[in-house]
Structure 1
């Protein structure tokens, strides 16, 4: 087996994790057989249908129901609903022999050792040499599971611990057993990174592996501090959320989401499987958790845990917090703390941590005590749960969504200073940390020669990147910046390809980015062979600078706004006219102007988690950076490809009929501000073309975009000539307007929505011209700009813009 040749998989167990894994295999283009047990009795529906226990619909019921459920689940486990067709249902009694047809069999049944052993025994009866068999266990020993299996089977057996929800959580822990073939482990690691898009760490076969071991210990420390020092639930979550570089769900809300019974099980797993008395004492389930579980308050799934949702006096939803002293619920109280406020104002996780720890108040003390114990524990477990600090840090970033792993955190707060403080408080540093400090080192990570080094067994070791990973940060550190300003940079990717990187606040498009686009086109035209548009920000681009537009509109600076939009349009048009290939590589949120920055590209290489959409109507505007023009142009080309017309103006009635459905589709998508739920969904919505690509691992986007640009060159790239194209004209405008009026009369949209819809229809259809009229791109841009300017002057639009800036969501007025 090589990493490329997992052509078919079998997943055994159709619960939340099993169905999630099957869905993600389907996302990755891998046909999958999903198996579960045969139901013991008929449902009432099956009885009404006259089915018998032997009918396949009955015997496969559990897997079939799981596949149906994944199509409707939220958050969606599938990139696109139709991917469910790649999953076939089956059952363990009839279909287990079919594992012989697979390349990978994944066991995802109940977390009980004997049940897993029994299933592996059954699997081996039909297993053929070379098939990888793995267990998706969160903490059961791989070696104990494999007891009794043949040596050949054990060589192909390992743990593959996916994190839930499988599609969205990056971490995958691969856990080899003593008998696992090391070469196979590395091949599976490569496969899961490239094909499944996972961040893979190699864990040791110890209780709860890496992420759950550190993460569970950290949560136990939180609960111990809460019990000993009397911290409230609100104080705990205020400190252990974004202020510490952790998710908004912080600690106690996370426990409610996970389930307190599940947490207790994970805690018990370490205590029961460690021979170290000190470790057993560390993993004692806290009294508050025991009491909540005993009383059936398991968290969100039962409606109550550390928090409980209730109804207020006016019928509104109210969240109450647990008072551990009484084990009853009370209204939430917002903590007041100078250190929390300082952390909130600080920029970046390292600065937030330093502000939080330096406050000298109650919350600052809590943060220090939590961090101190977690950092020391992580260092103490190095070598036991993983071979390197890098694996531990990645596991916590990818599995628990920490901004910084434990050792990155230690560097951020000052390794030497914090270690001295720990020792002054009577803490013992792990021997290897003391030796590292004694050798004169002041951090666990260091940047040298444009690369990242980390502490490894008393020496520096370089962080190795896969060939498909390109780090813009490291390229810049090595002197790869060609040009730069406050909002964007041009970076040499090598092989004649340049990257245009956005790095303005929130990657919002402003004058700096537009100037760099113009300069970048000139630079590539003179000295390079291709251009990639990509960045490593949290989001690709959330649109244009809305605050600037609102300020200009409120001051009635119409000439200024006109100039801003012209600059945007001209930059996009210049980008499109570059005689060299342009490839865009969006990720996460690419909204409004972010989409328009991709539209001039010859090809788009998107991340699977790309949330892509022209959302301007949400703030009372329409796309004006070329968005309407480009989708009108695509509609014209699609009409020509349909064979009804050659798009040259012949047969007006045929052309109008061919154009209409494509323009109407764009009108509905843009007019409803639809945003894709994935890169694949962006293709379904028509935002991306069928020729555009989605690359499995988001870390590979920039490399894939660079290779795509080079591929276009190898294939004999020809610049796209400017051509006039046919528009739907006044007939198309009338049809789209009628649809909008019907929605207004039905109460689905407001009067202002209708006004925006009419402007959008006018811009998409090409204005008041006959259907089939040939127009230039500049003509269409002028229509967009005029509509945009007129809407900027509307008070209701300005209210929408203000609401978005202050509330972060659309206002329907």
Structure 2
């Protein structure tokens, strides 16, 4: 630490297993060089174990690396040869197998090589952090703690931070701040209890589902149909989740609870079912072994029958009466009806919610500082749309509490432990003043760490105070112009349309809002909750095509281009704060602002070819400008060399799956800000816009000397299309769409090296777009996309 700030110049990860290798890769995603250690290979290259793990990451989906170059920043090492490299590392994360004796041995080996200031952390999923600290010298323990990532580490927001009795509080604060901003993680501080918070509650929830599935005689596929998105849980539901996690891994976590929680009222249920033990013994561990509860036979998904222990086709359906109950919009009504309904599916749902509520209430004091920590842990670590306490409170706190107590008295619950007295004293655990702490018998507010001041609109729990939504300056049907108390010199523009699609009302709104901001503010930020924008409003295009109103379409397109150019050449700095998706016209708007602040996990692409069109809001023009600029920088290069690199992205509607990939594709520029914590997006964008204004940043001159590839470039790209068509990879209409993109990127059928300006390139875009829009095949694609949400190949 320097002046209270944590600086991580290099990190080390010990253990190149599934978690260790992915943690190392995510550090590289955050521009932190990493040394990844494991045991020396018995044969060949001693770094072979690590190298094999890194090679395996390239095949994983979703990809652990945010761009192809990230893995080159992970250096392979082994414990025999490279322990001195630890002296260069500021952060060391241990992620080996969950065996205390193995961790003790490793800590003894690394201790002499650690830098004096280094922070050491264990990624254990449930072992005692205080016990692990005993494996380190006494003088090292102040800089030791638990850091529990969830799988996959790049995508799962939750990291549980677990202090020991000796952990330095200042170290914990700086580490939490660093993980929050640099790695984009959502931190929950957990107590040193078995399996901490998320796994403790999450695994109990899985065990509760398994218990009631067996009690009610339901099939595993039937239970999964009930316990997925219909109740706010991930699509993998329960048994598919077990397969993804690995049945052996799940059993290990269950055994941790069994071995260390002997006095727990639910201890009798801390066991893996017989059918699971049999699958594990047979090597059917789930997804990683090719089958577990579910397996794929040919194209058919089969599920294990819990009675016969044979596989059968998976084809579960919800009972109509249960489907109707789940469709009720009132949480209180849903729970009342589920409890009253005698159908086994309804009884399963009531029972699993009731027992999880019961479990969380009893254990709140021992496992978490507040109810907020449990709710966020389940949302961020297990993908629940609401945490257990939020769900309970939404359904009517006292009504549900009474129902639970009645079921306890009737012997229907999984444990007979009474609800704590505080449950009946409250109307809910989340209030504007804070969330209930059973330990301190009061409502606790959020963390006061300065890092959280960067989150202007953080995630909130049900019942919590709503953040200040700012002062509205002007709005129309499509947009809202407003300012935030953080900096009233910066105007903020938010779209109001569905999925932030760009239609006529949005274009009018952007132009008017920009003009107002130029008169009264120093800068403009475009920001709203994700997605940034799914592109042009196809419904408006389809309606105009049906009416044959091509004059309206041409005027609309001209206005779209005018708006893009207004953002590019505004009299104040314009900054796009981009998160979620920026597709088609949304990507074009983003490309035309003077600066971009982009959340890492953003999907960006010019996808117009999917509906038989080309980018015509200035997207092709911007890529042509970039090709000319790169060619000039290369001295001996030609625009075609760089056009070819982006052409197939347009023709295939390729979408970057991260901001780093979007940078490689030319949609995000090298000087733009890529941030890993999306909750800091608006804060960073406002600060960036203010800095640009303070520095006197202004739009440059519109380039007039843009060299284009011309007809030679068009012919070269046509040859590529022709080959793809011959191979059956594209259709006849795909060919025509691709040729239109080639004309727009190459400046039309002019001589190679012809010099054009932006307006000329915009005209070509517009002409090609309108010509495609008049074709029957493109109109069919638009209609199909609007009807199904999927592209049509015709």
Same fold (TM over 0.5): yes
For 2:715, what is the secondary structure of its paired residue?
helix
- Decide which of 18, 21, 24 is 1:22's aligned counterpart: 24
- C-alpha contact (below 8 Å) 1:379/1:433 kept by paired residues: no
What is the Cα deviation at residue 143 of structure 1? 1.5
What is the Cα deviation at residue 223 of structure 1? 0.5
- C-alpha contact (below 8 Å) 2:781/2:792 kept by paired residues: yes
For 1:481, what is the secondary structure of its paired residue?
strand
1:385 matched to which residue of 2? 367
What is the Cα deviation at residue 706 of structure 1? 1.1
In the alignment, the residues of structure 2 paired with residue 373 and residue 556 of structure 1 have an alpha-carbon distance, to the nearest angstrom, of 60
What is the Cα deviation at residue 484 of structure 1? 4.1
Of 483-492 and 274-283, deviating more is: 483-492
What is the Cα deviation at residue 61 of structure 1? 1.3
- Decide which of 109, 117, 129 is 1:130's aligned counterpart: 117
1:781 matched to which residue of 2? 762
What is the Cα deviation at residue 309 of structure 1? 0.9
- Decide which of 201, 220, 242 is 1:233's aligned counterpart: 220
1:715 matched to which residue of 2? 695
- C-alpha contact (below 8 Å) 2:408/2:418 kept by paired residues: no
1:314 matched to which residue of 2? none
- Decide which of 308, 316, 331 is 2:295's aligned counterpart: 308
What is the Cα deviation at residue 324 of structure 1? 1.2
Structure 1: gaps spanning 5 or more residues: 47-57, 312-316, 645-656
For 1:64-75, list aligned pairs within 5 A.
64-75=51-62
Structure 2: gaps spanning 5 or more residues: 410-416, 460-464
Query: Is 1:463 the counterpart of 2:446 in the alignment?
Result: yes
For 1:732-771, list aligned pairs within 5 A.
732-771=713-752
Of 207-216 and 500-509, deviating more is: 500-509
2:356 matched to which residue of 1? 374
In the alignment, the residues of structure 1 paired with residue 612 and residue 340 of structure 2 have an alpha-carbon distance, to the nearest angstrom, of 43
After superposition, the C-alpha distances for 1:772-791 in whole angstroms (9 at most, x for unaligned) are 44444344333323322222
- C-alpha contact (below 8 Å) 1:307/1:322 kept by paired residues: yes
What is the Cα deviation at residue 608 of structure 1? 1.1
Query: Is 1:445 the counterpart of 2:430 in the alignment?
Result: yes
For 1:383, what is the secondary structure of its paired residue?
helix
What is the Cα deviation at residue 555 of structure 1? 4.6
What is the Cα deviation at residue 400 of structure 1? 0.7
- Decide which of 533, 536, 541 is 2:526's aligned counterpart: 533
After superposition, the C-alpha distances for 1:600-623 in whole angstroms (9 at most, x for unaligned) are 211111111121110111221111
In the alignment, the residues of structure 2 paired with residue 475 and residue 582 of structure 1 have an alpha-carbon distance, to the nearest angstrom, of 28
For 2:766, what is the secondary structure of its paired residue?
helix
In the alignment, the residues of structure 2 paired with residue 304 and residue 779 of structure 1 have an alpha-carbon distance, to the nearest angstrom, of 58
- CA distance change for structure 1 residues 83 and 296 in 2, over 3 Å: closer, same or farther? closer
- CA distance change for structure 1 residues 588 and 480 in 2, over 3 Å: closer, same or farther? same
What is the Cα deviation at residue 344 of structure 1? 7.5
In the alignment, the residues of structure 2 paired with residue 700 and residue 558 of structure 1 have an alpha-carbon distance, to the nearest angstrom, of 43
In the alignment, the residues of structure 2 paired with residue 674 and residue 257 of structure 1 have an alpha-carbon distance, to the nearest angstrom, of 28
Query: Is 1:586 the counterpart of 2:578 in the alignment?
Result: yes
After superposition, the C-alpha distances for 1:302-345 in whole angstroms (9 at most, x for unaligned) are 3322222113xxxxx01122221212122222413346645786
- C-alpha contact (below 8 Å) 1:104/1:131 kept by paired residues: yes
- CA distance change for structure 1 residues 730 and 342 in 2, over 3 Å: closer, same or farther? farther
- C-alpha contact (below 8 Å) 1:729/1:766 kept by paired residues: yes
Of 721-730 and 423-432, deviating more is: 423-432
In the alignment, the residues of structure 2 paired with residue 346 and residue 597 of structure 1 have an alpha-carbon distance, to the nearest angstrom, of 40
In the alignment, the residues of structure 2 paired with residue 669 and residue 344 of structure 1 have an alpha-carbon distance, to the nearest angstrom, of 42
Query: Is 1:38 the counterpart of 2:40 in the alignment?
Result: yes
- CA distance change for structure 1 residues 236 and 530 in 2, over 3 Å: closer, same or farther? same
2:413 matched to which residue of 1? none
Query: Is 1:668 the counterpart of 2:651 in the alignment?
Result: no
- C-alpha contact (below 8 Å) 2:194/2:260 kept by paired residues: yes
In the alignment, the residues of structure 2 paired with residue 432 and residue 540 of structure 1 have an alpha-carbon distance, to the nearest angstrom, of 46
Query: Is 1:491 the counterpart of 2:482 in the alignment?
Result: yes
2:205 matched to which residue of 1? 218
- CA distance change for structure 1 residues 338 and 514 in 2, over 3 Å: closer, same or farther? farther
**RMSD, matched Cα:** 2.7
- CA distance change for structure 1 residues 640 and 95 in 2, over 3 Å: closer, same or farther? closer
User: If the length of structure 2 is used for normalisation, what is the TM-score?
Assistant: 0.91
2:776 matched to which residue of 1? 795
After superposition, the C-alpha distances for 1:433-453 in whole angstroms (9 at most, x for unaligned) are 42542xxx3x33334xxxx74
- C-alpha contact (below 8 Å) 1:243/1:340 kept by paired residues: no
In the alignment, the residues of structure 1 paired with residue 420 and residue 6 of structure 2 have an alpha-carbon distance, to the nearest angstrom, of 43
- CA distance change for structure 1 residues 252 and 148 in 2, over 3 Å: closer, same or farther? closer
- CA distance change for structure 1 residues 38 and 643 in 2, over 3 Å: closer, same or farther? closer
Of 409-418 and 686-695, deviating more is: 409-418
For 1:540, what is the secondary structure of its paired residue?
coil
1:650 matched to which residue of 2? none
- CA distance change for structure 1 residues 616 and 396 in 2, over 3 Å: closer, same or farther? same
What is the Cα deviation at residue 173 of structure 1? 1.0
- CA distance change for structure 1 residues 310 and 746 in 2, over 3 Å: closer, same or farther? closer
What is the Cα deviation at residue 91 of structure 1? 1.1
- CA distance change for structure 1 residues 436 and 484 in 2, over 3 Å: closer, same or farther? farther
What is the Cα deviation at residue 273 of structure 1? 0.8
- CA distance change for structure 1 residues 415 and 776 in 2, over 3 Å: closer, same or farther? farther
- CA distance change for structure 1 residues 228 and 756 in 2, over 3 Å: closer, same or farther? same
What is the Cα deviation at residue 585 of structure 1? 1.7
- Decide which of 387, 395, 399 is 2:381's aligned counterpart: 399
In the alignment, the residues of structure 1 paired with residue 306 and residue 512 of structure 2 have an alpha-carbon distance, to the nearest angstrom, of 61
For 1:584-623, list aligned pairs within 5 A.
584-623=576-615
For 2:25, what is the secondary structure of its paired residue?
helix
1:50 matched to which residue of 2? none
- Decide which of 389, 413, 416 is 2:395's aligned counterpart: 413
The count of residues paired between Structure 1 and Structure 2 equals 771
2:658 matched to which residue of 1? 678
In the alignment, the residues of structure 2 paired with residue 290 and residue 431 of structure 1 have an alpha-carbon distance, to the nearest angstrom, of 35
After superposition, the C-alpha distances for 1:634-683 in whole angstroms (9 at most, x for unaligned) are 33333444457xxxxxxxxxxxx632223333322212222112111111
What is the Cα deviation at residue 498 of structure 1? 2.1
Of 486-495 and 708-717, deviating more is: 486-495
After superposition, the C-alpha distances for 1:740-791 in whole angstroms (9 at most, x for unaligned) are 2233234332211111111111222222444444444344333323322222
User: If the length of structure 1 is used for normalisation, what is the TM-score?
Assistant: 0.89
- C-alpha contact (below 8 Å) 2:493/2:513 kept by paired residues: yes
- C-alpha contact (below 8 Å) 1:60/1:89 kept by paired residues: yes
- C-alpha contact (below 8 Å) 1:8/1:32 kept by paired residues: yes
Of 301-310 and 704-713, deviating more is: 301-310
- CA distance change for structure 1 residues 97 and 636 in 2, over 3 Å: closer, same or farther? closer
In the alignment, the residues of structure 2 paired with residue 540 and residue 276 of structure 1 have an alpha-carbon distance, to the nearest angstrom, of 50
